[in-house]
Amino acid sequence: MRIDLHVHSTFSDGMLTPTDLIETAVRKEIAAISLTDHDSLGGVSEALEAGRAKGVEVLSGVELSCEYRGRDLHVLGYGADPQHVGFQDMLTQFRETRHKRGLKIIEKLNALGIAIEPAEVLARAGGGALGRPHIAAVLVDRGVVSKVGEAFDKYIAEGGPAYVPKYKMSAADAIRYIHEAGGLAFTAHPGIFMENMQEMLDLVAEGFDGIEVFHPNHSASRTRDLEALAKEKGLLISGGSDFHGFPGRDNMGVGDVPYALYEKIKAALDGRA
């Protein structure tokens, strides 16, 4: 039985609705997923309902953009209470700053002579949290670029002419918010951000409950090192595909992450409750 504890829907920058994600999980024979939209728990109830109907287990999740020692870091929160007022207030602030960032990126594109309207991008977002993939999709629609990756490379990736930095919180604050809402905090794909294992040792000392060990952008050697670190420190292990549903990237379930890891996370959440 396989799991995928890192997938995104239209409630952030994914291309599929939560219901469509469940259909994809069924097609790929994935037993459990976690919906980990950026800055939003809005799609969790739909995913839970669809999962119950189709026999796919769903774990509430969220992904937060953070900063650690001047470097990007993403934090996954599993099992946080969607009704927790303080947690929802924090997510609202994240979404508002994400929206303002998107509008600034559009202004920069307009200044470069690329005329797109905020309404087009908001329609692409479909009521979800506005993100760069939505802007990239509009650039593809307009024929400015041929694919989403080209939009990032040419215009909106870090260092690009239309790039705008995003709002980030500290890793310690993210952990605190997740814990206050009854959830577990994991470092998301740390192999992308952390350059060596000493940095990882320092990072997990911030109070993380687990590490996302299995991820498509982790090398085999980095995966082994992270798994060994998690076991040495008594931390939980998660893994996922970081699935967004982009055309040509049907990677949900990649990595064959075992169901036993999900069982340990559920047990830890039950203990916290």
Q: According to the model, what pLDDT value does residue 131 have?
A: 83
CB-based contact 252:243 (threshold 8 Å): yes
Q: According to the model, what pLDDT value does residue 129 have?
A: 67
State pLDDT tens for residues 170-203. 999 999 999 999 999 999 999 888 878 888 999 9
The dihedral through the CA atoms of 157, 158, 164, 169 has a sign that is: positive
What is the architecture of the domain spanning 2-90+168-272?
Answer: Alpha-Beta Barrel (3.20)
Helix (H, G, I), strand (E, B) or coil at 259: helix
CB-based contact 36:65 (threshold 8 Å): no
Q: Which two tokens stand for residue 85?
A: 């007022």
Q: According to the model, what pLDDT value does residue 248 have?
A: 82
Residue spans of beta strands (DSSP E) within the chain: 2-7, 30-35, 57-68, 71-78, 169-170, 184-188, 210-214, 236-239, 257-258
State pLDDT tens for residues 106-160. 999 999 999 999 999 988 887 666 789 889 999 999 999 999 899 999 999 999 9
Of 9-13, 77-81, 153-157, the least confident: 9-13
Concatenate the DSSP letters of all residues of 94-131 into one string: HHHHHHHHHHHHHHHHHHTT----HHHHHHHHTTS---
CB-based contact 186:236 (threshold 8 Å): yes
CB-based contact 104:164 (threshold 8 Å): yes
Per domain, the residue ranges of the chain are: 2-90+168-272
Rounded mean pLDDT of 55-59? 98
Percent of the chain with pLDDT over 90: 77
Concatenate the DSSP letters of all residues of 10-48 into one string: TTTT-SS-HHHHHHHHHHTTEEEEEE--BT--TTHHHHH
Q: Which two tokens stand for residue 142?
A: 């307009």
State pLDDT tens for residues 227-245. 999 999 999 999 999 999 9
Q: According to the model, what pLDDT value does residue 128 have?
A: 67
Rounded Cα gap, residues 177 and 149, in angstroms: 33
Q: According to the model, what pLDDT value does residue 201 have?
A: 92
Run of H or E residues at 179: helix 171-180
Rounded Cα gap, residues 208 and 235, in angstroms: 8
